[in-house]
Structure 1
Amino acid sequence: MNGATMEVGAVAAMRYVKDGIMAARLVMQHTKHTMLVGEQASAFAISMGLPGPTNLSSTESLEKWIIWKANACQPNFRKNVLPADGCGPYHPKGNVKLAQNNCLMDNVAESVTLGSSHVDRHNHDTISMAVIDKMGHIAVGTSTNGATFKIPGRVGDGPIAGSSAYADDEVGACGATGDGDIMMRFLPCYQVVESMRLGMEPGLAAKDAILRIARKYPDFVGAIFAVNRYGKHAGACHGWTFQYSVRSPEMEDVEIFTVTP
């Protein structure tokens, strides 16, 4: 995302192309769109010069998948389906017609309890970064492979502007990581930037955005960093101890900051 022009480039559910963040930048630089998805995102990236199609499976990922299949595809991200402890094919559990079923709100407690049960620091790999140049222009980027054992076709918060990242030259920037399926429902980075626009310090803005999510999903796992246009930065997290790194021209090396829940 370009904080000067508010342009965004994103790709989602893209296969066979390794460099997702570069593909997203190509969308911003060479199209009038904001997001491309699926096979056509791959075709676009390759047509613009990125290597592919490439088999992105590794020995480690294949071994992990084989063990997962042998364990009846557990854990997974499905709910209210049968078979509950198998690899499918899946079908809805019970009668899905709301008119003949319990009130939708009956499932709220169950949904909130599920929270981030399959997401922790070991099974996702989001990298989010913000950069401020000498002219004061701000850019952000996020790259991720998504959650382990996700349902095919799943799109997380990585390519969603305002969720995993957001920037505005006039205010500052934000990056996020964690349970994207929950965090994208709150657009936490948009919230952070808008809170800073109203005068909130980065630390308070980040904490406020995290607490908004935690009030609805007390078991969720996630973290945010915030930086204003003057370079003041802070982080906030829930469900884990979070670390982020900072480098500026005045610093001899990268400095790592630790944030506790």
Structure 2
Amino acid sequence: MAAIGTWAFSYPAVRQMKDMILSGEHATDVVERAMAEVEDDTETGHHIVGRGGFPNSLGVLECDAAIMEGHPGRFGAVAALRGVGTPCKVARRVMERSPHSLLVGEGALGFAVEQGFTVEPNDNMLSDRSASAYQDFLQKKKNVSGHDTLGLIALDLMGNITVGVSTSGAPFKSPGRVGDSPLAGCGLFADRTVSITCTTGDGDKIMCYCPSFHVVQLMKQGSTPSEACHIVLTDIMMKNGQDKCFEIGLIALNMKGEVGAASSVEFPYTFWNQSHDTVQQFTQSSQCFL
């Protein structure tokens, strides 16, 4: 049994996940419900997740989300989805009810409507903070830094393992831009035989390396979660040059409930497993190589 969340703001979500896991709920339900609480809260929007996130260059909020189970073929994702405050819920419906695995833009929106989701005006999707930041972007060309994609991982009492990711994407991005988050093998990957992983950071760069898939494959070959994350990050940093490496954080969990992380920047995360009574907070320091 275990639960993980990327970044410090995931602490309430992981605490909720802990309680749900201990009550016997399925890992996918755990991830979906905990993710939705964060996605639909404008107070966490400034972390670049869901409602209250920063819009694209036209002032429209477009969200990406994905969910993946450890069972083969169990994956669903949406990208550039507008007007829905809980995109991870739509991603799960894609996984369970669509013949496709990834729906984007108008296709994702149309599917959400078919599934009974309420589509809201764009003004409802922005917070005062994100609307004000957009005006600063238009008038002063002032951008917002940060890549705080939310990733949640759950390992339940029955041994089911699920990962979910959600983000409103790079602030003031080009309309239709999609990062690594909703792409299997890039922003997330799961394999019930060994492990699960997700990433956070600069999605335009991360997707070029398929790091989540690489981490899982290393664990299948015998690496611990920590070893696998550090090997993958070292490989990426050596290819780019340490002083030129982009922002990336990796986190992984194996079926024993052991966690590992590696990052090119200081990377806080929250973690709980059956050996702890409470949710723990950790900070992964930026990795260096010789």
Hey, which of these two has a bigger chunk of helix by percent? 2
1:40 and 2:66 equivalent?
no
Residue of structure 2 equivalent to 1:95: none
After the TM superposition, which residues 226-241 of structure 1 pair with which residues of structure 2 at under 5 Å, given as runs?
226-238=252-264, 240-241=265-266
Q: What is aligned with 1:127?
A: 150
Q: Using structure 2 for the length normalisation, give the TM-score.
A: 0.70
Query: Cα gap change, 1:28/1:170 in structure 2, threshold over 3 Å: closer, same or farther?
Result: same
| TM-score (norm: length of structure 1) | 0.78
Cα offset, 1:18, TM superposition: 1.2
Contact 1:163 1:187 in 2 (8 A): yes
- Distance in 1 between the 2:146 and 2:266 partners? 15
Deviation (angstroms), 1:250: 4.0
Higher relative contact order (CA 8 A, sep 6+): 2
Instruction: Kindly state the Cα deviation for residue 5 of structure 1 after the two structures are TM-superposed.
Output: 3.0
1:225 counterpart residue number: 251
Residues 183, 213 of structure 1: 8 Å contact kept: no
**Which of 1 and 2 has greater Rg?**
1
* Structure 2: gaps of 5 or more residues: 1-67
CA displacement at 1:187 relative to structure 2: 0.7
For each residue in 1:70-114, what CA deviation from the matched residue of structure 2 results, as whole angstroms up to 9, or x when unmatched?
12x455xxxxxxxxxxxxxxxxxxxxxxxxxxxxxxxxxxxxxxx
Q: Deviations over 1:212-236 (max 9, x none)?
A: 2222333311110111111111100
Moved over 3 A (4+): none
Deviates more, 1:58-67 or 1:186-195: 58-67
What letter is aligned with 2:252?
A
Deviates more, 1:40-49 or 1:140-149: 40-49
Equivalent residues in 2 for 1:76-115, closer than 5 Å: none
Within a 5 Å distance, the mapping from 1:163-182 to structure 2 comes to 163-182=186-205
> Aligned partners of 2:220, 2:101: CA distance in 1, in Å?
24
- RMSD of the TM alignment (CA)? 1.6
* Equivalent residue number for residue 177 of structure 2: 154
1:12 to 46, 69, 79: 79
Q: What is the aligned-residue identity percentage?
A: 36
* AA matched with 2:100: H
Corresponding residue to 2:93 among 19, 23, 26: 26
